Structure 1
Amino acid sequence: MDPVTGAITTLLVEATDQGQEPGPRSATATVRIAVEDDNDNGSNALVHYSIVSGNTRGHFYIDAQTGALDVVTPLDYEVSKEFTLRIRAQDGGRPPLSNISGLVTVQVLDVNDNAPIFVSTPFQATVLENVPLGYSVIHVQAIDADSGDNSRLVYTLLETGAGFPFAINNSTGWIVVASELDREAVDSYSFEVEAQDQGNPPMASSASVTVTVLDVNDNSPEFTQREYSARLNEDAAVGSSVLTVSAVDRDANSVITYQISSGNTRNRFSITSQSGGGLISLALPLDYKLERQYLLTITASDGTRHDTAHVVVNVTDANTHRPVFQSSHYTVNVNEDRPVGTTVVVISATDEDTGENARITYLMEDSIPQFRIAADTGAVTTLMELDYEDQVSYTLAITARDNGIPQKSDTTYLEILVSDVNDNAPQFLRDSYQGSVYEDVPAFTSVLQVSATDRDSGLNGRIFYTFQGGDDGDGDFIIESTSGIVRTLRRLDRENVPLYLLRAFAVDKGVPARRTPVDVQVTVLDVNDNPPVFERDEFDIFVEENSPIGLVVARITATDPDEGTNAQIMATVHVRLRDANDNSRVLSAGSVGCRQGAGRVLGAGRVQAGCWVPCVTGSTVPSSALRTAVVLLALPSLAWLLALLSVNSDALLFHYLFAINNCLQVTPQPLHPQSPRRAPRSPRALPYPP
């Protein structure tokens, strides 16, 4: 209050609470402070203000000079909705005077800072499946600490699709049945409920609800099938099981009982509940002559509701005979090349009963993949190709079973022998054969042996060997038909045919026969059966006197058709001198020589006497392989000859006669004198130039 004008000061106070997200929030309060003038002047008129009481928790502060009242700590509407403050006004005089009669009331206004809270979570409830629509199932409730619209709640169901059987009262939170329930379809529902206040902005929370639907007996038992049938032999023992009927009840914990309602003539049958089904058993002996069929009506009941089914029991005549095979063991043969589906044999059995008791079904006791048996006819047929080479026989256990009650049977054994056919060609043990033989071996010498096998049996697997249709080396070889030994038929000559490429055959004796060829290579080995051959038997040589040592006076060549060491040629030179009067002089050693390996005759020094000079060294060669050539050496003048021999005589024409052999160790053979067959030619006209 202004002390001069008497005006009243009005304050607007804002209150802020300590709420959590999305807070904090605030409110405002109006504070009026009235101060009476003490009519003093100066310092006596200066008024100071202070809060005396009511400022619990220190929420407010007042300015001492101006009297302005402020909120200094957050306010909470839900804790304190109103504050009453006592204000002291004190002047500055001495002694100071004060007044504490001033009261300030601060009202805290609510803001929406509290979300709804459900009183219990999760909510659980049960409801019978047959309750009417609108039935109240459970009351879900939430509270909100705020006030006014901030605490007014609206309830909704979350994420419920079409056909959801529950609804909620938006204001009260009561959940009610909105559509018919069926426990057999859905026995439990779980969903969410949301509570939202009407503040601005609104706040919400949710809770889970589980509603369990309880069963009521609203379903009748139902048989799994309406009609049953059974066949029972008249000699069936009392207590024998006929069949089991079965019914189901969709209700929970239902107990089904069974009884025979009608058709149980002479009370032949009884029924008991076992494992949820009704087991029909024979209570009294049957008589095929009195009743051949029973039509039973069976009732299944859960105590309130029931269902019925019909059971037809056909009584059959007693199966007094079993099937009988004509033999306990059968043996048949089948060729291995028969196609798949071939009927091997038809096995049959007989039964002296009639009707179903005599109708026989055939089956194989063991699964043999190569064969099957027709159940009605007993025909055994092939399912796979047979192979004698893999398996030669099969033993099948075949059972003939009648269709009586109880079934009777007989078993026989069928042995199937697979007959071999010539379906395999002989096979050689090698892809090709190689051998060798010396050319000088006698006829019928063994060279090599070929060998083949045949997977077939008997004549189909019996093999003989032949060159027929192949190559026998133009008749130089034969092959033994049983052993496969290849032999020479005549003497061979390597120099004519060094290598034979033969083709032999292994042929079985099946019909038709199968044959397999093989290549045979025979190498003919050399023996020293050919002597060297000079290019001519006689040579004329003219040599000038005073020819230098080492002069080549002739080239003497020879060839040998053998090979290897047998074809290496070795030569010697044997020289003798004879005059016209048949006087013989032997040249001294070294007068005439042979250059090694060249086949050339040359002067080795002054002619003095006869000599032997080796040309090529090597192994000894049989004497039968020797060949000799005669060489005629003509001297141009007697003076030259006399100079060589130191003999005085008339001028004559002499011939050097000497032999060239192809072996070192050969005894020289004497050469007979020869007269000149023609006049001496000029020494410069040599027929064999060096």
Structure 2
Amino acid sequence: LVTDVNDNPPVFSQAVFETVLLLPTYVGVEVLKVKATDPDSEIPPELTYSLIEGNMDHFLIDSSTGVLTIKNNSLSKDHYMLIVRVSDGKFYSTAMVTIMVKEAMDSGLHFTQNFYSTSISENTTNITKIAVVNAVGNRLNEPLKYSILNPGNKFKIKSTSGVIQTTGIPFDREEQELYELVVEASRELDHLRVARVVVRVYIEDINDNSPVFVGLPYYAAVQVDAEPGTLIYRVTAIDKDKGDNGDVSYLLKEDYGHFEIDRGSGSVTLKEAFNSDLSNIEYLVVILAKDGGNPSLSASVELPITIVNKAMPVFDKPFYTASVNEDVEMHTPILSINATSPEGQGIIYIIVDGDPYNQFNIDFDTGVLSVISPLDYEINSLFKLMVRASDALTGARAEVTVDLIINDVNDNPPIFDQSTYNATLSEASLIGTPVLQVVAIDADSDNNKIVQYQIVQDTFNSTDYFHIDSTSGLILTARMLDHELIQQCSLKVRATDNGFPPLSSEVLVSISITDMNDNPPVFNQLIYESYVSELAPRGHFVTCVQASDADSSDFDRLEYSILSGNDRTSFIMDSKSGVITLSNHRKQRMEPMYSLNVSVSDGLFTSTAQVHIQILGANLYSPVFSQSVYVAEVRENAAPGTKVIHVKATDGDSGVYGQISYSIINDFAKDRFLIDSNGQILTTERLDRENPLESDIGVFLRALDGGGRTTFCTVRVIVVDENDNAPQFMTVEYRASVKADVGKGYLVTQVQAVDPDDGANSRITYSLYSEASVSVADLLEIDPDNGWMVTKAVDGGIPVKHSLIPVYIHVLPSETILPSFSQPQYSFTIAEDTVIGSTIDILHVLPNQGALYSTVNGELTENNKDGVFIIEQDTGLIKLDKRLDHETNPAFHFKVAATIQLDKVDIVLTVDVEVKVLDVNDNKPMFETASYDAIIMEGMPIGTKLMQVKAVDADSSANGQVTYTLAVESELEKITEAFTIDSNSGWISTLKDLDHEKDPAFTFAVVASDLGEALSLSSTTLVSVTVTDINDNAPVFEHEVYRGSVKESDPPGEVVAVLSTWDEDTSDVNRQVSYHITGKKQLACFFPKTSFTEELRMCPVSGECLAGFQLNYPCESDNSKLKREKGSVCVCVCLSVCLGYSLSDFQD
């Protein structure tokens, strides 16, 4: 039986509650209802709801039902957000309530009355129809729905007829006299257009309350010589009913002769004088109070009246009552007793009875009663004292009773009936078996004596094994026990009372667990994780499983076997030692993971465990790209992040050796592209095809696997043209001269424009362009002497781009003889290192008539935009004015104009000039990156390609051809023994088997030289080579023999010996050593602390034993020598308790 405890908080049905509240609204109108549940019990616990935030005194929530109502209908905001909390007394949860406040829309509906009034008698339990409301304004046959917004639990309404009824729950007029119900009428599909009306329900009174006397108890005293009519006392009674039902009248139950009472006021007066000998006599007068109902209800009360003479003291009360806690401090006043002397004399007070142990004292002068000795509720809980008041002058006296009630305080802890408890229990006991019952008794009263029991939490976690009934003190088992784990259990039980503050006491309970043979052998691990290289030879050690049996008789009977998962018998298991090795039947290519189910048996019981063997793949394969060269296109001006191409390299290895990372080698490409882990190349900036360096970009990639093998490829990125350049004319303007008599179709001049775009985007169409209102042809006809027009060059791209240039046409008389240049065009050749100021050549106009020469420069650099060439105005000599660079501008094309004045008319002649710039060796080869980083795995075969370095020379022909060599340095011999470089391609390869343990890294320089004939230029880059570690070294024990000493009585877990090994490999994974005990089965009395620790510890078994260790790597090297050594080393550990054994015992 599982007993539920409160360990779960209540949960709201929704995290957020939402509703719409229409205005106007009224106090008490229900807004919504929140609901929460508590998963702790099938019986719903008592949940308490409360508003904790956002209320601003507008809303009220019923703490038990969760109904949210209007408290103040002056709502000024359009929405309210409230936080409501629900608590089960220990835990709580919160939810949000969102209330949207809206004005009700004009619905066209209205009730037939502005308000309704009705009434009903209180206390009726009949379901009664009290009113019918009716709304009008709806369309024909349109149904209306009626609802009460604040129904409570006493009213309901028929939703279609508007009939308001009671629910049968009785009304109490004295509790609430008027109910104002808010009734709403709404259309079925439109809840925002409503009509509302108030129905006032008055509760009619019935006579269901008797008069009740107030100011009790009553007591009066009257002088013996008082005259008739003297007021003795006035009593008062009230009645909660209304009208006649609440009118109270007074009368005496009997005729007492001497007394009478006023029927209306309740005043008791003296009716007949007393005889002088009646002093110190008490009358008990019974007074009745009756209401005016039909039938009438009444109540009675006793009025003690004492007849006193003038000398007797008179107490202000007929008796006194007080209560005091038993732990009250000494001399604490309890109450004040007051008596007066008719003659005004002093009063002396004394206690005459009821205080046998003198625990109280009364001040003889003031009458203040106080405690002077400790009280004990458990000894005496009530004192009845008799106090006497004496007239200080006459000695007349009177006595009064004082009842003192002693209140219990929690001053006694529970006391167990035994100082200790003992019990014996079999380990086969079922859960819930009674063990024993503890009993504690508390001498206090009421709640202070109620005792609760609990087991004190301790380091043994006793509460996990045993449970105690908190009320009865019965201890029961909470789980199955095991003698092999626990032989003796000591519980501390605490008994706590229910006082405040609570008091408690504790007792020790000792429970002995008796043994039975019930233990199967148990593996020291449920799951074993092991690793073995796929290159490991047959017979190679994999792992060793170990089991123990808590029953000492089964220690030597354990047998191990493989149950399943051993596909194709890849593994074999030693039945005695639990050692698993690779079998002779193992496949050459094994699966990546094997899960073996292994068992151990003691002949009766069997246990199983799982052995997960991960086959670690060797790094046999290098990554391979599907192509050595990829070609991709990307549009110029594409936004950064545009995908260019997805390249992928594959690797035949699995696991970490098959994981490939990509990187870009050359700096120029790095600045413009990135490659992610999936081989996807993206742009990092916008590209410009018109930039010669960006029109065709080579991206050199490296793929690196997890073992250090690499491969390379080139991605040629062709930038596709966009029409982002307008045509550019070769000059800033054109001028030409033409005779007036030339025929139609005569070639006047030729305009030329170039567009740096490609394809259709650079195809140029020319047209005449004029802003005049008449055509150019008309203009030329009108002005035969001179014509001016604008030429428009339009490219073929989308969108179309164009340029405009002015063309000046000089129209000459027909008889004019036009001069011309000596050649139709000029072409010159010049070396790029020509000195500034050198003369290129001279231009002539024939006949020479005093021409003025000038260059007509274009908008492009190659059109002499920067004035690289100038011409002397008078002589026509062309000179070099600025430095040339063949790599930037291998040729220039521009025009030269000659202006000749003939008959006061300027004749303009133009001619095309071409200047070719010859290359000289003025550029060094430039490497694609300032330095190169390469990674190679140790043990790779000779001739393995490491990396390709590349340098580019901007010169042409032989000046731009590059060869590569290793730089001459101090360690050149060491470098040249390890590496070589192809002088033409720049590929660096290995010349020997590299060893990480000897040389973990190399750094050397590579020189790139051009083949310039007169002068060879060169540059240098740095290559850093990291040789990664592989598991090619076996661990070695620092000592051949380790000696330890152990006592048979040593506890389990005692350190016997600490082993130490070292390994020449450097990486953590290759230096991780696992330890296993192999060989004789007696070794089970020892175990390594963990498979990766150097500590040898005791098992919980005594006896003589001998231990041998086998150290095994989790990863195996592919080194052939290491495979023959099996990657393991054995060592003997000699112990002082192991006699008669030597190292030869381990050679099997």
TM-score by length of 2: 0.24
Which one has more relative contact order, counting CA pairs under 8 Å at least 6 apart? 1
TM-score by length of 1: 0.38
